[in-house]
Amino acid sequence: MISGWFGENGELFFEIELIASNGDCFPVEVLLDTGFTTGFLAINSQDLDGLDWSLIVREIEMQTARGDALFDLYEGRVIIDGQELIVPVHVGEDLPEILIGSQWLDRMQLVVNKPIGILTLETVSSAE
């Protein structure tokens, strides 16, 4: 389970780690964007420097809150809730925050109780 915190305007923030191709880990603050429904992670192109992740697809058009934008898709490695995972990463211009998308909610449980300050993400196992 990872604990998060609330931003000044009620945003939901967490810390995850990005893993560069050489194995270096970089802890980063990420914003959970429930409007980002088609992906796991979105970062600004300048944040890609030093990670040396592999390009999967160039110039995917996506609708954002600011209108249509082009993103490149990379294969990224992250650590979230103690687990190292490989996920597709949308890389674009002018992203003010590193975003995690609502795709994580297919794998993780989000618990929010703002009045008492509880904000957590936890990996859930499927009961099969």
Q: How far apart are CA 103 and CA 87, in angstroms?
A: 11
Q: How far apart are CA 24 and CA 32, in angstroms?
A: 24
pLDDT band at 128 (very low <50, low <70, confident <90, very high): very low
Q: How far apart are CA 121 and CA 14, in angstroms?
A: 8
Residue-wise pLDDT for 69-126, tens only, equals: 788 999 999 999 999 999 999 999 888 899 999 999 999 999 999 999 999 999 987 6
How far is Cα of residue 89 from the mean position of the Cα atoms in its chain?
8
At 67, the amino acid letter reads G
The domain ranges of the chain are 2-123
Contact in structure between 2 and 17 (CB atoms under 8 Å): no
Q: How far apart are CA 28 and CA 23, in angstroms?
A: 15
Architecture of the domain defined by 2-123:
Beta Barrel (2.40)
Cα–Cα distances (Å) from 59 to 5, 13, 26, in that order, read: 33, 28, 26
Residue-wise pLDDT for 21-31, tens only, equals: 999 999 999 99
